[in-house]
Amino acid sequence: MQWAWLIPLFSISVVPLLIIFGKYLPGKGSFLAIAAIAAGFFMFGWVFMEWSNTDESIGNCSVNQSIGVRSCAYQLDWFEAGDPGYSIDRVYQGISGMLGIVIDPLTISMLGLITFVALMVQIYSLGYMKGDPRLNWYYAFHAMFAAAMLGLVLADNFLMLYITWELVGACSYLLIGFWFERPAAREAAKKAFVVTRIGDVGLLIGILLLWSQVGSFSMSETFEAAQSGDLGSSVITWSAILIFLGAAGKSAQFPFHVWLPDAMEGPTPVSALIHAATMVAAGVYLVARAFPLFEQSTEALMVVSVVGLVTALGAATIALVSTDLKRILAYSTISHLGLMMLSLGALGYTAAIFHLVAHGFSKALLFLSAGSVMHGTDELDVRKLGGLRIAMPITAVLFSIGALSLAGIPVLAGFWSKDEILLAVYSNLPPIFIIFTLLTVFLSALYMARAMFLVFFGTIGGSSGSAHESPASMTWTMGILGFFAVTFGFLALNLGGSLEGFGHFVFFEHAEAFHFNWWLGSISVLLALAAFVAAYLAYFRYSPVMARINEKLSPVLKVIENKYYLDEGYQWVIDKVVLGIANFIGYLDRAVVNDIGVNGPARIIRFIGISFRLHITGNVYSYALGVAIGMIGLLIVWWSRSV
């Protein structure tokens, strides 16, 4: 288990190989990246087995006091600077950094999700990206992305977490802008990087705030200090909110969600990776990892819940009216990330992580299917597609599985996880939350059904005529993901033996048996089914009733179609406020700093020089007169001193 740090190392070590030698290798070296992530995946299996077979008494493992789960930590000295102090009340401390990994159920779940989805996506890319001239760079970025995310979930201190966190952001920038020949891709990459950076500033301040109070970057020490009451409640609240700011940036929560739909400009497998395993999962992971901190502050939890709910509901409505298949999926991701945050805010720790993994499988499957559609038809506008179930039967079946799973149709993975979230929200938050959450569930089923009906059913649309099924490397990986999207949900149940249910594996403070609230479950299923019926009527039968409802809602739809004018609002803020301030500061710089501060002394010196040089007349008489007057002056001085 102490070798778990090899998991990211495999992937990061192939990056320079791919960049330098990739061009000369068969297949541009793609097999290297795939072998590395496959090795990481098997390593994860080994770590998982070993973790299951150890108990607290062995080596570095102990029951984590703040979470109550068995966790194993391995550390190395990294650096020390200044005078390392560990006391609470000291203001000036030295900095000491440790390289450390922590292995607990949360990390193991994430390791499994990341290595598995990254492996599937990289194999899928063999077919999807075939013939791309920069394939070695593509795989190098993929490997780096996976390595950064794996390092993020293994890190046992905030310093390593922050470094890998930024590395994840940088890799997402590189991959979203992979087709940088297209201006839209460049813009999207920049937008993703800048928007997430805004949140990252919050994360950095939060980490430094905690460090200034605790004197250590170690997460376990920080959380113990938080739970033992060594930290003031305002410090906990503020640091939790600041950390959540970082998480909201990465996980595309309102108001930072604007980068994610634009990130669709990247290659579709990249979208699958970002949405399922790496980028957006980091935010949810961070909140879950810092949960001992959040748990201490009801205000922070309320912020998380409200932001989660607003995000979930707002994104679900936009997904309903988007016309681009990938954008529908992107808003669906935002909506589901909102649900995960809401669940965390409602103390539904297990439910959030379970939904993260279940959603990861379903969303990776959906994105890979969308990529398959794009591969077959070169079209992503759902209005122009239709009837693809004939030409692309495998894709159609697998997309439907993913869609049904996300919509929360029973026995598929999304049903179980969503139900647990509903239960957590119902038990721990005011009733208004559960109403809007159920509305989100309904909308989520509705937009998935809409996408499904429009793309794969109905009449064969304009661009669908020449469609063809995708190659085996694509369909097989989709199939494997589809299998998990169907079966993963059963892990929530107590299956006997060592499979006691997910709640006995990942939990906070005490193991949770699987709860099932019959009437809540029934309502959510009924809502999902109602949504499917509505979508069937509106987008398959084109029923006039639905058309009339559409007509009635058109002013609302107009606002939603424009994404609540958020992008325009941000643009206005940037144009008027940010650039206004920048212009003012630029004027200050030119007028004060440059003209007065820099050029001012130069002007003064120049003026003095001009004035003083006037005595150099070039006329010998004036010099001679100077000599004579000087001589007389000296004589007078000498005479007056000698008298």
Partner 1 sequence: MVDLVYFQILSAVLFCIGVYGVLARRSAVLIIISIELMLNAVNINLVASASKLANSSPGTFLHFDGQIIAIFVITVAAAEIGLALAIILRMYRNRSTVNVDEVNLMKW
- Summarize as ranges the residues that interact with partner 1 (CB under 8 A): 613-614, 616-621, 624-625, 628
Per the DSSP assignment, residues forming a β-bridge with 155 are 101
Q: Are 411 and 482 in contact (CB under 8 A)?
A: no
Contact 192, 251 (CB under 8 A): no
- Residue 594 Cβ vs partner 1, minimum distance, rounded to whole Å: 29
Instruction: State the nearest-atom distance from the C-beta of 612 to partner 1, in Å.
Output: 10
Q: Are residues 191 and 271 in contact, defined by beta-carbon separation less than 8 angstroms?
A: no
What are 380's two structure tokens? 């992503």
Amino acid code (one letter) for 44 = F
> Of 57 and 619, which CB lies nearer to partner 1 in the complex structure?
619
CA–CA separation, 114 and 563 (whole Å): 30
User: CB-wise, 578 or 624, nearer to partner 1?
Assistant: 624
Q: Which is nearer to partner 1, 518 or 612 (CB)?
A: 612
Q: Could you give the CA distance from residue 338 to residue 433 in angstroms, rounded to a whole number?
A: 13
Element counts in the chain: helices (H) and strands (E): 27, 3
How many CB atoms lie under 10 A from the CB of residue 75? 14
Q: Which is nearer to partner 1, 459 or 611 (CB)?
A: 611
Residue 616 C-beta: closest distance to partner 1, Å: 5
Which CB atom, from 81 or from 610, has the smaller least distance to partner 1? 610
The minimum distance between CB 629 and partner 1, in angstroms, equals 10
For the CB of residue 572, give the shortest distance to partner 1 in the complex, in Å.
58
Give the nearest distance from C-beta 607 to partner 1 in angstroms.
14
Least spacing, CB of residue 605 vs partner 1, in Å: 16
Is residue 274 helix, strand or coil? helix
* Minimum CB distance to partner 1 smaller for 555 or for 618: 618
The rounded distance, in Å, linking the Cα atoms of 255 and 267 is 25
> Number of C-alpha atoms within 13 angstroms, CB side, residue 128?
30
Whose structure tokens read 């029923």? 543
Nearest to 505 by CA among 48, 114, 149: 48
Complex with partner 1: residue 516 or 638, whichever CB lies closer: 638
- In SS3 terms, 554-590 reads as HHHHHHHHCHHHHHHHHHHHHHHHHHHHHHHHHHHHH
CB 620, min distance to partner 1, A: 4
* 519 versus 621: smaller Cβ distance to partner 1: 621
Question: At closest approach, how far in Å is the CB of 609 from partner 1?
Answer: 10
Pick between residue 92 and residue 639 the one whose CB is nearest to partner 1: 639
DSSP codes joined into one string, 444-483: HHHHHHHHHHHHHSSS--GGGTT--PPPHHHHHHHHHHHH
